[in-house]
């Protein structure tokens, strides 16, 4: 599997992570034996990289990795200080038509402690399908832009479910009937959450970095079927 490179300099590499690829091995995913993103990059470049931030296995899109371990904390400081802007695109259940800020706390899976979390949600497009999904005779979907102000685990998935617009393909927090419809009608089993872009001032070079990603193939199919254009 060839990993798409979005940006590279002497300090970092920014790549487009595919769906269902772990960034690195962990206790929570100890039963998954497939190559991780770090494994794939090591094979591709014959060198090691060091993740600066997290991205769920099921989420595709932009992720920043440092070339030297000692540089990780320099870039992580940008995240901790909210000096990095990340934009995600998601397909959710129902018609989502109004901007909203979701600020309900999210529970840490390790400590079981709830932490403050905030996500800005913006509608992009909607689609009504003449395909019945229990308990309705039609099905409705929305394309949305999500900007997290915090970085809690599963934050976007939890927040969208909290406001009754779960992300399609989310088998933990989502709607099984809509997930099943996407499997049956579109042969899609992936989570429709994509880390689309990232912007920040490079802490070493001081250059402004702005990177957008391409979408996975299952997204392109849905864009075509739903007649959605996104640039």
Q: Report domain extents, the chain.
A: 4-226
Global confidence as pTM: 0.94
Q: Are 191 and 169 in contact (CB under 8 A)?
A: yes
Reply yes or no on domain 4-226 having CATH 3.40.50.1820: no
The one catalytic residue in 9, 10, 34, 56 is 56
Structure tokens belonging to residue 56: 């769920």
What string of pLDDT tens digits covers the 231 residues of the chain? 899 999 999 999 999 999 999 998 765 556 667 889 999 999 999 999 999 999 999 999 999 999 999 999 999 999 888 899 999 999 999 999 999 999 999 987 778 889 999 999 999 999 999 999 999 999 999 999 999 999 888 999 999 999 999 999 999 999 999 999 999 999 999 999 999 999 999 999 999 999 999 999 999 999 999 999 876
Angstrom distance (rounded) from CA 45 to CA 36: 14
Task: Name the packing angle between helices 217-226 and 176-186 (round to 10°).
Answer: 90
Q: Could you confirm whether 218 is annotated as catalytic? A: no
């Amino acid at each position: 599997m060839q990993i798409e490179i979005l940006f590279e300099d002497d300090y970092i590499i920014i790549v487009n992570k595919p769906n269902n690829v772990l960034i690195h091995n962990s206790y929570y995913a100890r039963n998954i034996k497939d190559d991780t993103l770090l494994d794939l990059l090591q094979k591709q470049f014959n060198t090691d990289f060091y993740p600066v931030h997290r991205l769920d296995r099921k989420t595709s899109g932009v992720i920043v990795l440092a070339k030297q371990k000692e540089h990780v904390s320099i870039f992580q400081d940008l995240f901790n200080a909210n000096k990095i802007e990340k934009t995600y695109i998601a397909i959710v259940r129902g018609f989502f038509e109004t901007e909203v800020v979701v600020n309900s706390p999210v529970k840490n899976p390790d400590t079981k402690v709830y932490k403050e979390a905030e996500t800005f949600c913006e509608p992009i497009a909607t689609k009504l399908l003449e395909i019945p999904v229990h308990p309705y005779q039609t099905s409705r979907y929305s394309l949305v832009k999500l900007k997290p102000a915090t970085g809690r685990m599963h934050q976007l998935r939890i927040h969208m479910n909290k406001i009754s617009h779960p992300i399609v393909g989310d088998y933990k927090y989502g709607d099984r009937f809509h997930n099943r419809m996407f499997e049956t009608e579109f042969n899609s089993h992936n989570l429709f959450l994509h880390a689309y872009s990232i912007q920040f001032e490079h802490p070493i070079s001081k250059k402004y970095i702005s990177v957008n990603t391409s979408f996975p193939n299952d997204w392109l199919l849905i864009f075509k079927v739903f007649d959605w254009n996104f640039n």
